[in-house]
Chain A
Amino acid sequence: MSKKLLSVPYLFWSALFIIVPLLMVFYYGLTDKSGAFTLANIAAIASPEHSKALWAAVRLSLISTVICLLLAYPLAMILCNMKVNHSSFTVVIFILPMWMNFLLRTLAWQSLLEKTGVINSILGALHLPPLQIINTSNAVILGMVYNFLPFMVLPIYNVLVKIDANITNAARDLGANEVQTFFKVILPLSVPGMISGITMVFVPALTTFVISNILGGGKILLIGNVIEQEFTQAYNWNLGSGLSIVLMLFIIFNMVITAVTDKDGEVSIL
Chain B
Amino acid sequence: MKKLVMMACVLLVVSVLAGCGNSSNAGENGEVYVFNWGEYIDPATLDMFEEETGIKVVYDEFETNEIMYPRVAAGASKYDVICPSDYMIHKMIANDMLQEINFDHIPNAKANIGAQYYEQAKEFDPNNSYCVPYCWGTVGILYNKTMVSDPVTSWSILWNEKYKDNILMQDSVRDAFMVALKLNGFSMNSLNEEELQIAKNSLIEQAPLVQAKVVDQVRDKMIGGEAALGVIYSGEAIFTQRENPDLEYVIPEEGTNVWIDGWVIPKNAPNVENAEKFIDFMCRDDIALLNFMYITYASPNTGAKALIDDDELRASKMDYLDEETREELEEFVDIVRDSQIAFPDLSQYDNLETFIYLGEDGDALYNQLWKEVNSAYGE
Q: Which residues of A contact B (CB under 8 A)?
A: 48-49, 52-53, 56, 114-116, 135-137, 217-221, 225-226, 229, 231-237
Contact = CB atoms under 8 A, between A and B. Distances in A.
B367 A53 contact: no
A221 B67 contact: no
B378 A234 contact: no
Contacts of A52: 375, 378
Contact of A116 (B64, B66, B224, B371): B224
A52 B64 CA distance: 26
A221 B67 CA distance: 18
Given A115-B226, A116-B224, A116-B226, A219 B213 contact: yes
Nearest to B207: A219
A49 B378 contact: no
Nearest to A56: B378
A52 B372 CA distance: 11
Contacts of B21: none
B226 A114 contact: yes
B11 interface: no
Interface string B131-143: 0000000000000
Given A233-B367, A235-B69, A235-B70, A220 B377 contact: yes
B206 to A, nearest CB: 12
B212 interface: yes
A124 to B, nearest CB: 13
Given A116-B224, A137-B378, A233-B64, A218 B213 contact: yes
Contacts of A48: 375
A233 B371 contact: no
A53 B375 contact: yes
Contact of A232 (B70, B211, B212, B214): B70
A135 B66 CA distance: 24
Contacts of A219: 207, 210, 212-213, 377-378
7 contacts: A219-B212, A219-B213, A220-B378, A221-B378, A233-B64, A234-B66, A236-B367
A234 B367 contact: yes
A235 B211 contact: no
Nearest to A47: B371
Interface residues of B, number: 29
B173 interface: yes
B334 to A, nearest CB: 30
Nearest to A218: B213
B379 interface: yes
Contacts of B375: 48-49, 52-53, 221
A217 B374 contact: no
B303 to A, nearest CB: 36
B225 interface: yes
A198 B225 CA distance: 40
A56 B207 CA distance: 17
A233 B214 CA distance: 14
User: Which residue, of A220, A225, A229, has the highest number of chain B Cβ atoms within 10 A?
Assistant: A229
Given A219-B212, A221-B378, A233-B172, 20 more contacts: A52-B375, A115-B226, A116-B225, A116-B226, A135-B211, A137-B378, A217-B214, A218-B214, A218-B377, A219-B210, A225-B374, A226-B371, A229-B371, A232-B67, A234-B364, A235-B69, A235-B73, A235-B363, A236-B364, A237-B70
A213 to B, nearest CB: 9
A149 to B, nearest CB: 24
Contacts of A225: 374
B171 interface: yes
Contacts of A137: 378-379
Contacts of B207: 219
A217 B66 contact: no
B225 A233 contact: no
Contact of A233 (B73, B173, B211): B173
B16 to A, nearest CB: 18
A218 B66 contact: no
Contacts of A218: 171, 212-214, 377
Contacts of A236: 364, 367
A49 B371 contact: yes
A48 B377 CA distance: 14
Nearest to B65: A233
Contacts of A136: 379
A221 B364 CA distance: 19
Nearest to B213: A218
Nearest to B225: A116
Nearest to A225: B374
B378 A217 contact: no
Contacts of B379: 136-137
B7 to A, nearest CB: 23
A239 B64 CA distance: 21
B183 to A, nearest CB: 20
Interface in B64-83: 64, 66-67, 69-70, 73
Nearest to B221: A114
A231 B74 CA distance: 11
B378 A233 contact: no
Contacts of B69: 235
A48 B373 CA distance: 12
A49 B66 contact: no
Nearest to A220: B378
A236 to B, nearest CB: 7
Given A233-B173, A235-B73, A135 B212 contact: yes
A236 B379 CA distance: 26
